[in-house]
Structure 1
């Protein structure tokens, strides 16, 4: 990344290629100073690309879903990516400090920014249930191990233990969240189907169907609480 902040798409592409294909060399030669400008631009672009990919997948759904995806890609994607990078860098800064690193927050942010190269990959793998989350988290943990060794001068074994344990925790949390999200989506689709059926029923039949639906929803919620 250059000392002067600028938007250079070719430079960003080369940076992504280096992070994905040659992470060891990338972290060994990564500048530790130069300000936050270039890392922030890189993260924002990766967030926008990931959002565009999500929007393209939404194309196979409704037009409204596509519009939401495009809006998210252009506005919320970069904003959330940059905000997440600053928060993630703060967490990594503390972790590396506990591991004995003497590097400052800017170095932690630059390492965190490098992980943004995985955002488009994560968006692509998101179409594969569960596997996408596992691959993305494991890949990110591997990059953090390499950053710990090459940038922060930490022992590889120590870094593998620290980020390996964190990766396992994140994987289990992510899988649980994804499962809950998919179950909720299935329930909402079922709800939509039942509401469509109500249009062809008489008021009495529609009322009975609605009562059955609400009862089933209540029983489902009770089952979830019992589990």
Structure 2
């Protein structure tokens, strides 16, 4: 069952030219959907529209069958969506624990907050060792883990990630993607924007390719990877 559904959404920054035009896609619970394409294709704009940071011009966005495209970003988070933006954007002056607490600002139950933090410590053991350390002193990989953990502290139904591998060493990227697979197995739906197409397709359940704001191809990763035209145009083959 789809936890997130986009139906022919269009939006942009300067009318009348849309940055994304009639984009449709869906993400099921317990799946990773990769959203790929060249720079400027509209991937980050799509995430901004889904999270409520950019208003739709047309179309609809549903989370668990309920429309969220008319809500504020805060209301979208409360509905069950969390996003890890490009560049992580943790709060460097706050400790790891304080960053995690900021992610749980919509949750009123102290018991649930404590349970979620324990879960994050199990998922990301390195953060447990650095709970009192300022976020700004963490390595790039640790900051990415913290950004993901902070988003998960809102107990979301769907997680949006924008370029989680950016600026990280290959071994760290491998570890981050292993965490994403673990989250998928735990039942979380993930919409992943990632320039490392090979890695994205390796863990994705389904993929969409954007170009000039429109979906130009979609399918299972194995099918897309076998298509010579797609491989040459989008996968660096």
More helix per residue: 1 or 2? 1
More strand per residue? 2
